[in-house]
A and B are shown apart, each in its own frame.
Chain A
């Protein structure tokens, strides 16, 4: 009987499902077959636009009931045929949490939000209040019932969203990049909640997520998608022991896979040993593969998924490789010309509530600087002041020896470009070419000069082919590049990037940062990136600045920032695995010649060429 699902029956049964959005001819999902079993914790990975979110929409009936289109194949969720079941009828089966907490929270008071679903289901008041209390307790927000959602941090808002769907006791929890907008500690809160729900309450969890370092060892199964197909489906160790690479085909197979079954899952085609280059991998796994390469050992079978396992693996490989020169050059750069000087910057939108308390900062040309801190710490306010979006106090910000407070915003924009988090906000014309030309035209450049520079910049950013398209018709990655191009065309001395990797897959994030490096080399541009992404900081930044509660807490090398535990805690940051692993190895084996590092190849090489024998290092 429909709806009466046996306890051990699959919660999700997709057989050869394809789907195209209304008005589109190209399907977003192609022949997807999948089983999700009770108690599983599934991580879905894949490049932007590969169909991950579409797959999630199918799991609660949003597709095909709210988002119309052409759906073929057989899809059943919790025993109900998706095509025959309205979205609302899945409310007690499937809880859905979206990326943007602002967009999904309906009510203002926390308790109202958690009670909302059960009120819609016409449950009695006593039951609703009891479930509300339980749900808030499950996400660790017992005391927050009477608080306004406007007063909560991003992580707390997302926990409210989870509690709001848990109230209906769904068997399946579906999350679409729930931590995308959160600082690292907010992210850790969410992952801890999901882990607890899965382990203690047996809730089945399916999540799309790019931030895999803190999640890899908590999930029971990984699904990788590409081009609307499932190209890998298996346990996380199997997933992350594979190499990233260009697949010879985007063909793949979904499998009816019980997680943990040895030998089950994975692709069996010619591309079986590679996964899409766009997938984010846990750094612990990447390091293990790099160490095995450097030490020319057979690849580890049980690839590490967390820092602890990576340390254990590294110990088994100490001193087993060649003594070739480390492959990484020093990141230290000679200081460039003075560019921006900030002295004692104090600012608040209201006099009684200052946001910045006397910030000092000097920026020279040609560096990549990371600006870190918790959500609401004052980073964006700082960026708005140096770009003169907000009027700074006189004598506090000097751009090439000119007081920014006395400059016009458009003059500041000639020297400082600001790429907003949402590229759509910055588009002002109807065509890609015009969009890039706009900044030059409003500054009365000659037509010939405009043509030359626009074509050059579109070439650098790989957008020339889209020159006649509407900016809004491009993909997110392309829109992000176009947003950068509109700033580059003015050859700014300083380029601000607000959260450059949010919502970007690994390949596109690397492309964007590669572009920033080329910029620095070609134009001596300084890049100041506001980010929560500690891997981005570790991999690309020459320098890190930390703002906390409006004060500058740190200004120095990223490695020194990660080494300061009190600072990391105050700033809501978590060290990247490569640092934690190298620091632990350096501490445990002081004579091995291993030092804390942010470079994965350098650490792999240091482990392979360590001076102490591995027996000495083994506990």
Chain B
């Protein structure tokens, strides 16, 4: 038994859990578009705080799980932010560190870039935590009219990720007792990947084969369509979320196109 990953569906009754999967998909796509369209820090800060509030209040994900699921990305984002701040050129010196000039434009852009990545990761966490992969597959079939075989292939891929993670942990443990240490450097990582590959491949093929036989034996693929006991429907709350996201994206990109937005900076010149 090992540590459960935060990036895994957990049943619940939050506002986000009650939304249909397509609405959640629209929301996460909308957040990503907004994040990609903002190059200045204050906008990314607002967006990140809004997504964090969504995680805590609307998706009811405990702060501990948010931190556990995103800390690694957080560390990467901070490193990324620092490197960019120190290395990107600029015009106005905001302050100096050990005599090295830190430019206001560079700091602002670096902060925006780092937060953009973090916001997208956090929104993905909300989506994965609140979306049963099967529900998503059904939503794609019944709401987005995707062929069910393709939707189920996507579902199985998502469903099997935790199993493969567990398998890798087991292989790593099994090989550690052989005296195989964790690899360092590119060459070492390559050798490690090669050692894991065959047992992982053998195990995955065995599991995949069992799953295929199990599905076929229960008539999967027998007909061009299938019925669904529970079909998700977009409720008024879902329509509202989709409308708000659509509005925000349209307004934002319109403003961006007209040059109204990138004029207010936190640490760059006004």
Q: Which chain B positions have C-beta within 8 A of A164?
A: 218
Q: Which chain B positions have C-beta within 8 A of A387?
A: 177
Binds A, one of B91-99, B200-208, B256-264: B200-208
B156 and A106 within 8 A (CB)? yes
User: Is A199 in the interface zone, CB < 8 Å from B?
Assistant: no
B226 and A120 within 8 A (CB)? yes
Binds B, one of A74-82, A83-91, A574-582: A83-91
User: Is B214 in the interface zone, CB < 8 Å from A?
Assistant: yes
User: Is B132 in the interface zone, CB < 8 Å from A?
Assistant: yes
Binds A, one of B18-26, B30-38, B166-174, B238-246: B166-174
A107 and chain B: residue at smallest CB distance: B134
Q: Which chain B positions have C-beta within 8 A of A94?
A: 217
Q: How far is the CB of A169 from chain B (nearest CB, A)?
A: 12
B175 and A428 within 8 A (CB)? yes
Task: Report Cα–Cα, A165/B207, bound state, in Å.
Answer: 19
User: Is A148 in the interface zone, CB < 8 Å from B?
Assistant: yes
- Interface readout for B186-203 with A: 1 if CB under 8 Å, 0 if not? 000000000100110011
B210 and A104 within 8 A (CB)? yes
Task: Report Cα–Cα, A573/B55, bound state, in Å.
Answer: 44
Q: Which chain B positions have C-beta within 8 A of A129?
A: 229
Q: Which chain B positions have C-beta within 8 A of A409?
A: 176-177, 181
Task: Report Cα–Cα, A87/B218, bound state, in Å.
Answer: 8
B223 and A442 within 8 A (CB)? no
B218 and A108 within 8 A (CB)? no
B225 and chain A: residue at smallest CB distance: A122
A120 and B222 within 8 A (CB)? yes
Report if A125-B227 is in contact (Cβ < 8 Å); known contacts: A165-B217, A349-B2, A410-B181. yes
A115 and B229 within 8 A (CB)? yes
Report if A117-B134 is in contact (Cβ < 8 Å); known contacts: A124-B227, A384-B173, A420-B174. no
Task: Report Cα–Cα, A66/B214, bound state, in Å.
Answer: 11
Q: Which chain B positions have C-beta within 8 A of A90?
A: 217
Binds B, one of A36-44, A95-103, A299-307, A322-330: A95-103
Q: Which chain B positions have C-beta within 8 A of A116?
A: 215, 218, 220
User: Is A507 in the interface zone, CB < 8 Å from B?
Assistant: no
* Interface residue count on the A side (C-beta < 8 Å): 74
B217 and chain A: residue at smallest CB distance: A96
Q: Which chain A positions have C-beta within 8 A of B218?
A: 91, 116-117, 120, 164-165, 168
Q: Which chain A positions have C-beta within 8 A of B133?
A: 108
User: Is A443 in the interface zone, CB < 8 Å from B?
Assistant: yes
Task: Report Cα–Cα, A88/B221, bound state, in Å.
Answer: 8
Task: Report Cα–Cα, A418/B198, bound state, in Å.
Answer: 20
User: Is A376 in the interface zone, CB < 8 Å from B?
Assistant: yes
Choose from B1, B3, B179, B203 the contact partner of A410 (Cβ within 8 Å). B179
B216 and A428 within 8 A (CB)? no
Q: Which chain B positions have C-beta within 8 A of A486?
A: 178
A87 and chain B: residue at smallest CB distance: B216
Give the bracket for the number of chain B residues in contact with chain A. Answer: 35 or more
Task: Report Cα–Cα, A609/B56, bound state, in Å.
Answer: 75
Q: How far is the CB of B146 from chain A (nearest CB, A)?
A: 16
Q: How far is the CB of A160 from chain B (nearest CB, A)?
A: 12
Most chain B beta-carbon neighbours within 10 Å: one of A66, A349, A427, A439: A427
Choose from B178, B213, B228 the contact partner of A426 (Cβ within 8 Å). B178
Task: Report Cα–Cα, A524/B225, bound state, in Å.
Answer: 64
User: Is A112 in the interface zone, CB < 8 Å from B?
Assistant: yes
Task: Report Cα–Cα, A86/B179, bound state, in Å.
Answer: 48
Task: Report Cα–Cα, A118/B222, bound state, in Å.
Answer: 11
Q: Which chain B positions have C-beta within 8 A of A109?
A: 11, 132, 134
Q: How far is the CB of A86 from chain B (nearest CB, A)?
A: 7
Q: How far is the CB of B156 from chain A (nearest CB, A)?
A: 7
Task: Report Cα–Cα, A416/B179, bound state, in Å.
Answer: 11
A91 and B213 within 8 A (CB)? no
A119 and B227 within 8 A (CB)? yes
A424 and B214 within 8 A (CB)? no
Report if A420-B170 is in contact (Cβ < 8 Å); known contacts: A86-B222, A128-B229. yes
Choose from A62, A119, A376 the contact partner of B229 (Cβ within 8 Å). A119
Chain A: residues with CB nearer than 8 A to chain B?
A: 57, 60, 62, 66, 86-92, 94-96, 98, 100, 102-109, 111-112, 115-125, 128-129, 132, 148, 164-165, 168, 349-350, 355, 376, 378, 380-381, 384, 387, 389, 409-410, 413, 416-418, 420, 422, 424-428, 438-439, 442-443, 472, 486-487
Can you name 16 A-B pairs with beta carbons within 8 Å?
Answer: A66-B212, A66-B216, A89-B219, A100-B210, A108-B159, A112-B230, A117-B218, A120-B222, A120-B226, A165-B217, A381-B1, A410-B181, A413-B176, A425-B174, A425-B175, A425-B199
The 7 closest A-B pairs by CB, nearest first: A117-B218, A88-B222, A103-B210, A91-B219, A425-B174, A104-B214, A120-B219
